[in-house]
Amino acid sequence: MAAAGGIVIMTSHSPSAWQELLAHFLASQPNVGAIRLNPHQRQVELATLGEVDPVVLQTRLNELLRQLDGQVLQGTSGAAKTQASKEAQTILLQKPSCPTAPSLWRWRQFQWPDPTTMERESDLEWRTLAFQASLCGLCLLVATLLPAGSQWHLPLLSVSILAGGWDAAIDTWEQLRRRRLDVHFLMLAVAAGACAIGAWSEGALLLFLFSTSGAIEHLVLNRTHREISALMRAAPKQARKVLPDGSRRDVAVSELQNGDILEVRPSELFAADAVITRGESAADESTLTGEAEAVPKSMGAEVFGGTLNLWGLVEMRVLRPPGESALARIIALIEHAQHARAPSQRFTERFGTPYTLVTLGVVLVAFLVWWLVLGVEPWAQASEGASAFYRAMTLLVVMSPCALVLSIPSAILAAIAWGARRGILFRGGAAIENLARVTVVAMDKTGTLTEGNLRVSHVESFPDGREGEVLRLAASLDAHSNHPVARAIALAGREQQVELLEVSSFQSLPGMGSRGETTRGTVYVGNRRLMEHAQWQPWLAKIPETGAGQSEVWVLCQDLVGRIQLNDRIREGSRAVLNELRNAGIRTVMLTGDRHNAATEVARQLGVAEVRSGLKPEEKVAAIEAMTAEGQLVAMVGDGVNDAPSLARADVSVAMGARGSDAALEQADVILMQDRIEKLLWARHISVQASRVIRQNLAISLGSVVVMALASLTGRVPLSLGVLTHEGSTVLVCLNALRLLLTRPPMAISPVEAGATPGASSGIG
């Protein structure tokens, strides 16, 4: 929590990010005094003073909102030269002003762009750019084919230059207002210089290729927006609510609250994340996982908003509001991923303006040397020979970093779109780059290497004869937990129709279990660590170990000790994944809170290189820190609340499935929407391919700049060749990035089995 002038703001992301985004926006808008956001209801208002242009404000605001989209405002922040406050779920950020200024403000409500709008705008944008590039190229082609001296030659080239440079001119104007320079400025400068010395064709060719590469870049971005919009269209809009008197009423999904009872008929969408309370059916969860296989749903099973009820009439109790559903989280994650920069991308963007200034300085020095030192004619027309100015324009073209700027984001966006189509969600470019370089993969056991669908196999009580009471106590507490072990015990209680006790003061004990107050007094349910207290040591010495592969849960109260044994199945595909990782030279480690016997048995069956069992959450974190201190790049794979700290500490965090805990999903850099560990290989595969494409693009872009810049210093490179080389490399890196969309997944899972598009092209090199 950070204070600014006595007023407080709370957000979930770093203070610097909010300072830069919100404070910069307010500072850049002279007639805007404050901004008020409610991200949960997607509402935004601006306080204006004096005359403003709402259309211009909306356009500028959209850029800010798209960067904020996908972020949950819960962390801390404060902004320099701003004041901020939080009322309910609304964030208020305002400029310091005199006490009377707020009374003069006029609050205006603006639209928060939704994914469908983003897709429509993105589609219109790339099509507009493609039209401008086509018009530019068509006019240039016709002018080139006309006979020399034609009266239409210059008008056609003028139209070509206007069409090709229109978007660059708009962007340059916006950047100049912010006192920034970028590649668009360089392109316009070269085109204007070429026209000044009569090289109209070269200027038009430059802008044609530049506008074409821009259209290709926006096409890649549009593909990602299409993935988001497709998910958004899958979200239900209406729900059938069961009222207390038993009647049904259709309500808007946005009106649903926790605890509401809904009726869902066959072939209807589940409106929110919920638990089945009556009936049974099966669900098509392909919108979340990419896999069309029917998932059985019976009483007590959890269903997810936006998935399809296949054949049964069911009633369900809403667990989370629609805005916090698994589908909503996926949409938010993909939106956020588009704006999260990869480390290499941030490096190139950081030096955008300095590089532009250096380039202009080098070109100016070269011009002066050619003119004043070497005696080259300074301003001769292009038709009269290579003047110093002509050579300077050629040097400026080849040094412009268009290809370098596009080489990384184009590959990152293509990889994000590829993953989204296959149930793999990357939070941004950093996750893609880092996953390709990991040297150690640490994995939780339950729910990751095993299915997590535990079944109670045996209940013991000490003294004997009170097994039903042990199950009743455990099921009463575990009804309040979402851990896989707790769900299994709660399910056993429901199957045996156990009457649950009322639990108060429920408390989770990370790494051990849980406690709660019941009519039987204080009850503890958890792992063997609970038995380490001196009070229970005599009991532990008398009780034999469980068999290999069995998990155990202890139940402790004043006069009763019980043990529940559970079976879990190894997840199909775990062995193949571990073999592939080992063949790739990656070390595998199991980090689990389970007891040693159960952990080593699973590790033996799977061939895990290293096992560390009986770990508390903080001990998992310490294990990852130790591996990191050895110079290893560590990826952690998990799904539970206990995994969240170690996920946060790992270099790359991978969460299992839409069924993973909220804490795990919040920390994850990569989310595998299917409960299939094989998708880890898919995620690593596309990360490796994307990193390879990024290296190829950087080699192409930097190589062309260095080679052509050195060649241009000789004064023998014509402007047209410089334009073709420069813009050709830009188009090449975009097309190279688009190849990622055709990458075939590794064959650890067949494409049909995982919901991939049949007939996809083979993987790229």
Active site residues: 444
Q: Which of 292, 369, 424, 242 is nearest to 712 (CA)?
A: 369
Q: In this structure, what DSSP letter does residue 752 have?
A: T
Residue 573 to residue 517: CA distance in whole angstroms:
41
Q: Which of 531, 548, 553, 546 is nearest to 485 (CA)?
A: 553
Q: Which residues of 406-423 are buried (b: 16+ CB within 10 A; e: fewer)?
A: bbbbbbbbbbbbbbbbbb
Q: What is the dihedral of CA 440, 446, 450, 456, to 10 degrees?
A: 170
Residue 668 to residue 652: CA distance in whole angstroms:
8
Structure tokens that stand for 113 in this block: 């762009």
Do the bridges between strand 238-242 and strand 261-264 make them parallel or antiparallel, or are there none, so unpaired?
A: antiparallel
User: From the centroid of its chain, how far is CA 406?
Assistant: 20
Residue 227 to residue 595: CA distance in whole angstroms:
42
User: Within 10 Å of residue 89's Cβ, how many Cβ atoms?
Assistant: 12
The set of residues, in sequence order, having a beta carbon less than 8 Å from that of 120 and lying 6+ positions away, is none
User: Within 10 Å of residue 315's Cβ, how many Cβ atoms?
Assistant: 16
> Are the C-beta atoms of 113 and 65 separated by less than 8 Å?
yes
Residue 456 to residue 492: CA distance in whole angstroms:
7
User: Within 10 Å of residue 66's Cβ, how many Cβ atoms?
Assistant: 17
> Are the C-beta atoms of 581 and 568 separated by less than 8 Å?
no
Residue identified by tokens 């159960």 is: 598
The set of residues, in sequence order, having a beta carbon less than 8 Å from that of 544 and lying 6+ positions away, is none
With H, G, I as helix, E, B as strand and everything else as coil, classify residue 261: strand
Residue 33 to residue 137: CA distance in whole angstroms:
45
